[in-house]
């Protein structure tokens, strides 16, 4: 195995046949930045190239959040052009996790919201605890939710996708499990150990069969994924041209500072 990459926003460990990626910005609920997304993609690419790694776990640092979604401090002043680059960044991130031909287990230690919820739905197996909350609150920040509903519909069906997207509410763990978002709910202290058990079980499966099955899942999903991403570019440009996401993001950040 080659030397491990060093990251600023992630913790990265390998214990073959399993590697663990930990989003490591707990002071801001592990919210995404462009730099974090690039590092996650680098970690996924590294794992893809290492034959000793047969399965991955992705989790978050701390006990409050897997990831709260986009860090609004970075996005608050986006121009329409920057919004397009932003969507393309997520496009590459989502493709990196979904097209990976090795199984990915999400160990949900807390909230997964917005783009983080979307990312989680693109993993293969999801384990959480009773206090986990998940959903698509982007509308509350004035952000047009386009890619999220496409990903959500594949798991939740159209009716629930519409309701969650328009209300922006977060699901409790039991509801998420009933809808197939969470596959297992365990006590909080057991989330990562259980994720490791599942990852080891998956790593022990025949390697070629695993890769081919995952490749076919991606082939089925890719046309819809590409269509959703092209639509997101169009609609986010229009959304940011209105100024509404910037205004609502500033309002949210001002409220957070006062609380």
pLDDT tens track for 231-252: 999 988 888 888 888 888 788 7
- The reported pLDDT for the residue numbered 113 is 96
Position 128 pLDDT exceeds 90:
yes
Position 3 pLDDT exceeds 80:
no
For the residues 43-60, what does the mean pLDDT come to? 97
Q: What is the DSSP string of 140-193?
A: GGT----HHHHHHHHHH-HHHHHHHHHH-PEEEHHHHHHTTS-SEE--GGGHHH
Residue 182 tokens, joined: 């969470």
Position 122 pLDDT exceeds 80:
yes
Position 71 pLDDT exceeds 90:
no
- The reported pLDDT for the residue numbered 231 is 94
CB within 8 A of 139, min separation 6: which ones? 145, 165, 166, 167, 168
Tens digits of per-residue pLDDT, 141-189? 888 899 999 999 988 999 999 999 999 999 999 999 999 999 999 999 9
Give the integer Cα–Cα distance in Å for 123 and 97: 7
Position 35 pLDDT exceeds 70:
yes
Average pLDDT value for the chain: 93
Position 45 pLDDT exceeds 70:
yes
- Let me know how long the chain is: 259
CA angle 47, 124, 204 (to 5 degrees): 65
Continuous H helices in the chain: 34-48, 72-75, 80-98, 115-121, 147-156, 158-167, 173-178, 191-203, 207-242, 244-258
Residues 114 and 138 sit within 8 Å (Cβ to Cβ): yes
- The reported pLDDT for the residue numbered 1 is 61
For the residues 195-213, what does the mean pLDDT come to? 98
- The reported pLDDT for the residue numbered 182 is 98
Tens digits of per-residue pLDDT, 14-33? 999 999 999 999 999 999 99
- The reported pLDDT for the residue numbered 77 is 81
For the residues 120-146, what does the mean pLDDT come to? 94
Q: Where are the domains of the chain?
A: 10-189+198-207
Give, to the nearest 10 degrees, the angle between helix 147-156 and helix 80-98. 30
Phi, psi of 18 (to 5 degrees): -120, 140
Fold designation for 10-189+198-207: 2-enoyl-CoA Hydratase; Chain A, domain 1 (3.90.226)
Tens digits of per-residue pLDDT, 208-218? 999 999 999 99
- The reported pLDDT for the residue numbered 49 is 95
Residues 9 and 32 sit within 8 Å (Cβ to Cβ): no
pTM (2 decimals)?
Answer: 0.94
Residue 77 tokens, joined: 């002043």
Phi, psi of 106 (to 5 degrees): -95, 125
- Using a pLDDT cut of 90, give the percent of the chain over it: 78
Residues 187 and 173 sit within 8 Å (Cβ to Cβ): no
- The reported pLDDT for the residue numbered 259 is 65
Give the integer Cα–Cα distance in Å for 249 and 259: 15
């Amino acid at each position: 195995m080659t030397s491990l990459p060093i990251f600023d926003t992630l913790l990265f460990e390998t214990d073959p046949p399993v590697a663990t990626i930990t989003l490591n910005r707990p002071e801001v609920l592990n919210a995404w930045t462009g730099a974090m997304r690039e590092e996650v993609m680098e970690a996924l690419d590294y794992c893809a190239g290492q034959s000793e790694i047969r399965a991955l776990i992705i989790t978050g640092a701390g006990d409050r959040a897997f990831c709260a979604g986009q860090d609004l401090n970075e996005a608050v002043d986006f121009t329409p052009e920057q919004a397009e680059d932003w969507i393309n960044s997520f496009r590459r991130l989502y493709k990196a996790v979904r097209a990976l031909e090795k199984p990915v287990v999400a160990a949900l230690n807390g909230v997964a919201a917005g783009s983080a919820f979307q990312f989680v739905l693109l993993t293969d197996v999801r384990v959480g605890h009773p206090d986990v909350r998940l959903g698509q609150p982007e509308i509350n920040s004035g952000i047009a939710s386009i890619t999220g509903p496409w990903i959500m519909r594949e798991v939740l069906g159209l009716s629930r996708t519409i309701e969650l997207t328009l209300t922006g509410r977060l699901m409790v763990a039991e509801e998420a499990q009933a809808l197939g978002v969470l596959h297992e709910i365990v006590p909080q202290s057991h989330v990562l150990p259980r994720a490791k058990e599942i990852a080891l079980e998956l790593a022990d499966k025949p390697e070629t069969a695993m890769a081919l099955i995952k490749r076919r899942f991606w082939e089925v999903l890719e046309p819809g994924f590409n269509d959703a991403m092209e639509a997101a570019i169009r609609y986010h440009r229009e959304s940011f041209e209105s100024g509404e996401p910037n205004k609502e993001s500033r309002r949210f950040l001002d409220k957070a500072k006062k609380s």
